[in-house]
Structure 1
Amino acid sequence: MAPQKTHNDLPRDYAATYQIETIIADMEEQLNGCTMDPAVTAMKELLESNRSLNNLCLSMFAEAKELVRAKRAHPAYLAIDNIPILMRLLDYILTRSPQWEDIDFFDHLGGLPLNLVLMVLMETHSGLQLFKQANVNQHLKRILGRWALFLESPKSVYALNPRDGWLSYSAIAKLEDVANSPTRARRKFTDIYDCPDPKNPETLGFASWDAFFSRKLKPGVRPTPAPELLLGLECQGSAILNACESRPWQMARHSLRCGEIILKGELYSVYSMLGYDPLSEHFVKGTVYQAYLSALSYHRWHSPVSGVIRKILHIDGSYFSQLPMSDILSMEKSQSYLATVATRAVVFIDATDLRVGLICFVGVGMGEVSSCKVSVKEGDYVEAGDEIGSFHYGGSTHCLLFREGLNVQFERCVEDKQRVHNIPVRSLLARCFP
């Protein structure tokens, strides 16, 4: 008998959907006849009673079948062809933690179950329209809120186990590699991250899956540059630190007021990204930098400059809308689009260095990342490198916006098109010249 294939033996598109059959089988076995969570029931009633939404669902399921038949998705997705089965799957996930998947891709989704279930549906044109609807996203917000409560509870820690979970040998090795690669260090996981109880092999002392996911770095692991580098002489320009441990995605210069910035073939406007706030005007003809955080990255944000928090915005958006491109990494490739439609947190900072002036950080929630938590308040003073917030529950993307009139010169590592590793958080990202 031929040996059973593992994830690493499988083609990329198949590997990322390897668990969908198991999820469907488990759901049918455990939830058959059970009452669904009220949040899921409410969404089911909306989709079935609203004629327009119901028609979009029917079209979405039909288009998904065509994608499967065209061999762009795993055949198991044929089972997700009606509203009741989709709602049962969402209900099942509410009490399940993201599973570790031993797939050797830097930017894979890291076992995020909602992405796994919705992956093919999101790739359809009707799915794009459905997941942009405000009433659908209101219900998704409630569902994701229910799931967040589970991921923040002790019941979620089962997925951390050292046998096949996030604390297994393969998982720890990958997490260490992602954290060490930017600086070519050789630290152990417990030397990189602040683990509540490093001697506990089952959980390392983390009280929940989310506590593990949003873990903090140990002091000194990502130091800020020396003070003389941060101060910057006039000829050196003003220092900008990297706000997130992330991989550069794209940058654009000379943005338009209500026009569109083209990044990686995708379009978005600065005004829509910033929720049409009046402060958006400062970034007309400015520079936008965007970078990506995988599910294996460090997910806390740090201030790129010293200054005062001028304004904070929490913008509700779509949770599972992406550009239809029939690609297993379509969510990652939709980052520029997601920066204007997804749930996001916007932090405006008045830099102490007047040469920088107003700068803006945008944390963009992708898919499961429904929670962008800001940990500072308007009026707070922050030093460059101080923590200002965090992502929860999955991979993410973020943007930095620079005002008009600044000549932003990024470090060579940012401009490196062949770069496959993160740039360390709190390291020098760029210098600004008037």
Structure 2
Amino acid sequence: MRKWLYRLLIELTNHSLSSKLLASFAKSRFSAWLIPSYAKIYHINQEEMEKSLKNYKTLQQLFVRRLKAGARPVDDDECTVVSPVDAVIEEMGIIRENSEIIVKGKPYSIAEMLGSAEAAQPYVNGFFFILYLSPSHYHRIHSPISGMIERQWTLGRKSYPVNRLGLKYGKRPLEKNYRLITEVKAGGKRMAIVKIGAMFVNSIELTHTGEQLVKGEEMAYFSFGSTVVLLFERGSFAPDPRIAAPMPIKVGERLGYWR
């Protein structure tokens, strides 16, 4: 009953019209009066922001804010993989033989997530992370490793919530939501950075140009809170023993080691 009610409410509100209205409001000067209360409710750390709060003229500008130089030091060991986002590690683990991952007790297919069984095959028996960004988080996405972009593609149209309720009761949001996938190769191994749109606002904006990525370099941003899924090719990655789920993590902090 609870699952049915949750899905019904989402279907009634997750409309192209409501999405456009919300996006338009967030980008308008009328949204500015919400900025002080938004910053207070979500405990935005104003000390690390590039600008003072009064310099953001719309909610959209605050959502996509940059940070002061040095606010997110990047682990400089060349063998490490770092978090691409400020987030909560919601789940982590091994990708199963049938190309499934288990998130909140629910199976998700990475073949569906990536668009085909062929795209998923290198990641079978590899490792995954689910990194959830709330509205309070810094929304810019940075590269977790240095490497070459092999391929980049988009899938999906509508977006459902990717918070804990969404993952538990939603219509398989990690597989179905609008998503932008970047596949990166380094040292003969690959990883996929899956950027998943949140409810209402599908906007994922690329800021990186070219084929070369440098660890810690900005590559994109979300216009609202969302989720990043990291998929590692089998044999390419070993998690740091201190990492567990759930736990908070910031851009540049070590997730594990590239083999």
Is TM (by shorter chain) over 0.5? yes
Counterpart of 1:150?
25
1:219 aligns with 2:91: no
Among 233, 237, 244, the alignment partner of 1:403 is 233
Q: Separation in 2 of the partners of 1:213 and 1:284?
A: 35
In the superposition, relative to structure 1, how do residues 339 and 144 fare at CA in structure 2: closer, same or farther (>3 Å)?
Answer: same
1:281 aligns with 2:121: yes
Among 81, 89, 102, the alignment partner of 1:248 is 89
Q: Alpha-carbon deviations, 1:250-286, whole Å to 9, x = none? A: 12314335x4322221111111111227433322232
Q: Which amino acid aligns with 2:231?
A: L
Structure with more of its chain in strand, by fraction? 2
Q: Flag structure 2 segments of 5+ consecutive residues without an equivalent.
A: none
Among 176, 184, 198, the alignment partner of 1:366 is 198
Q: Separation in 1 of the partners of 2:80 and 2:161?
A: 35
Counterpart of 2:241?
412
Could you tell me how far 1:321 is from its partner in structure 2? 6.8
- Asked whether the equivalents of residues 141 and 370 of structure 1 are also in contact (C-alpha less than 8 Å), the reply is no
Q: Which amino acid aligns with 1:155?
A: F
In the superposition, relative to structure 1, how do residues 206 and 359 fare at CA in structure 2: closer, same or farther (>3 Å)?
Answer: same
Q: Alpha-carbon deviations, 1:275-310, whole Å to 9, x = none? A: 227433322232211121121111111001111222
In the superposition, relative to structure 1, how do residues 155 and 313 fare at CA in structure 2: closer, same or farther (>3 Å)?
Answer: same
CA-based RMSD of the aligned residues comes to 2.9
Counterpart of 1:382?
213
Q: Separation in 1 of the partners of 2:107 and 2:153?
A: 22
TM-score, with structure 1 as normaliser: 0.54
Q: Which amino acid aligns with 2:58?
A: S
Q: Which amino acid aligns with 2:223?
A: H
Structure with more of its chain in helix, by fraction? 1
Q: Separation in 2 of the partners of 1:288 and 1:342?
A: 18
Could you tell me how far 1:397 is from its partner in structure 2? 1.6
Counterpart of 2:149?
309
Q: Separation in 2 of the partners of 1:240 and 1:334?
A: 31
- Asked whether the equivalents of residues 167 and 173 of structure 2 are also in contact (C-alpha less than 8 Å), the reply is no
- Asked whether the equivalents of residues 91 and 246 of structure 2 are also in contact (C-alpha less than 8 Å), the reply is no
Q: Which amino acid aligns with 1:338?
A: P
Counterpart of 1:166?
38
Q: Separation in 2 of the partners of 1:276 and 1:303?
A: 24
Among 184, 188, 191, the alignment partner of 1:349 is 184
Superposed, 1:258-277 pairs within 5 Å as 259-276=99-116
Q: Alpha-carbon deviations, 1:160-181, whole Å to 9, x = none? A: 14xxx224xx447x223xxxxx
TM-score, with structure 2 as normaliser: 0.86
1:175 aligns with 2:44: yes
In the superposition, relative to structure 1, how do residues 429 and 263 fare at CA in structure 2: closer, same or farther (>3 Å)?
Answer: same
Q: Which amino acid aligns with 1:339?
A: L
Q: Flag structure 1 segments of 5+ consecutive residues without an equivalent.
A: 1-62, 68-119, 177-188, 232-237, 323-327
Q: Which amino acid aligns with 2:6?
A: E
Q: Separation in 2 of the partners of 1:154 and 1:127?
A: 29
